[in-house]
């Protein structure tokens, strides 16, 4: 187990719950709005069903791209600061989506929200690896993924309940409020898990070396391809 480097060290249960909550924000941003796609399309003048789903695609594009950026950044500056920047982007974009006057602007906001959400995915995994190793790390990751995989099942139902209470904009407000609460939880209870002596320089050579380590590791490539096809 990695040495604790903060006096605000959470218990194992709280740590798992916090990491799971961070990962759940990404799943929530994808699935909670599925029942609202027809309402959003109607409000913004989009009648073609295949165009409505671009709200999800735009988010996924930003989310996928930014993971490549947040990885080297968190290795250089630690876990907390990049996480809070990403969460701030997530909250601002979720709130801004409620005021989107056009569908194209909504897609741009969703793409940017995905950029911020990438921090939660990268850093949630990183803090687990910083704090645990071996079998214990596998157990912690398994428990967090139970929550992560349950969210897509529950999120559409949550979105439908919100639609019963008000317009589709309420879904984005709910998303922003929940992310703000989890961000505050992380501010006070998530310690910095990457000590200064273990940080990597943010340079082209260091980043290229990191990618080389991954692409020359057969296990890493096999698991990565499996995840991609899944």
The first and second tokens of residue 166, run together, are 């008000």
Residue 46 has φ and ψ, to the nearest 5°, of -110, 110
Q: Residue 8 has what pLDDT? A: 62
Mean pLDDT confidence for 103-115: 97
Kindly give, in sequence order, each residue whose CB lies less than 8 Å from that of residue 183, ignoring residues fewer than 6 positions away: 84, 87, 88, 91
Q: Give, as one character, the DSSP assignment of residue 100.
A: -
Mean pLDDT confidence for 57-64: 96
Res. 3: pLDDT tops 60: no
Q: How far apart are CA 115 and CA 67, in angstroms?
A: 8
What's the pTM?
0.90
Q: Residue 4 has what pLDDT? A: 41
Of residues 62 and 6, more confidently modeled: 62
Nearest CA-CA partner of 109 in 162, 38, 44: 44
Q: How far apart are CA 124 and CA 116, in angstroms?
A: 13
Res. 95: pLDDT tops 60: yes
Res. 32: pLDDT tops 90: yes
Question: For residue 146, how many C-alpha atoms fall within 13 Å in the half-sphere facing its CB?
Answer: 7
Res. 14: pLDDT tops 80: yes
Res. 7: pLDDT tops 60: no
Res. 38: pLDDT tops 50: yes
Q: Residue 63 has what pLDDT? A: 96
Which residue in this structure is represented by tokens 């959470």?
Answer: 10
Q: Are 74 and 194 in contact (CB under 8 A)?
A: yes
Residue 215 has φ and ψ, to the nearest 5°, of -75, -15
Share of the chain above pLDDT 90, in %: 78
Q: How far apart are CA 91 and CA 150, in angstroms?
A: 22
Mean pLDDT confidence for 167-177: 96
Q: Are 113 and 91 in contact (CB under 8 A)?
A: no
Res. 108: pLDDT tops 90: yes
């Amino acid at each position: 187990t990695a040495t604790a480097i903060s006096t605000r060290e959470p218990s194992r249960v709280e740590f798992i719950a916090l990491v799971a909550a961070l990962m759940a924000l990404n799943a929530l941003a994808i699935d909670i709005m599925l029942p609202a796609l027809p309402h959003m399309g109607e409000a913004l003048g989009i009648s073609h069903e295949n165009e409505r789903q671009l709200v999800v695609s735009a988010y996924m594009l930003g989310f996928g791209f930014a993971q490549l950026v947040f990885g080297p950044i968190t290795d250089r500056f630690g876990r907390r600061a990049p996480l809070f920047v990403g969460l701030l982007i997530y909250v601002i974009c979720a709130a801004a989506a409620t005021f989107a006057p056009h569908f194209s602007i909504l897609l741009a906001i969703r793409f940017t929200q995905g950029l911020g959400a990438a921090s939660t995915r990268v850093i949630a995994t990183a803090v687990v690896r910083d704090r645990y190793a071996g079998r214990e790390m596998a157990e912690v990751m398994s428990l967090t993924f139970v929550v992560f995989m349950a969210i897509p099942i529950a999120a559409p139902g949550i979105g439908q309940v919100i639609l019963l209470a008000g317009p589709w904009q309420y879904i984005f407000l709910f998303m922003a409020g929940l992310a703000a609460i989890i961000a505050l939880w992380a501010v006070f209870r998530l310690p910095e898990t990457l000590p200064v002596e273990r940080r990597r320089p943010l340079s082209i050579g260091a980043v290229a070396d990191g990618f080389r380590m991954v692409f020359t590791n057969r296990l890493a490539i096999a698991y990565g391809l499996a995840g991609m096809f899944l």
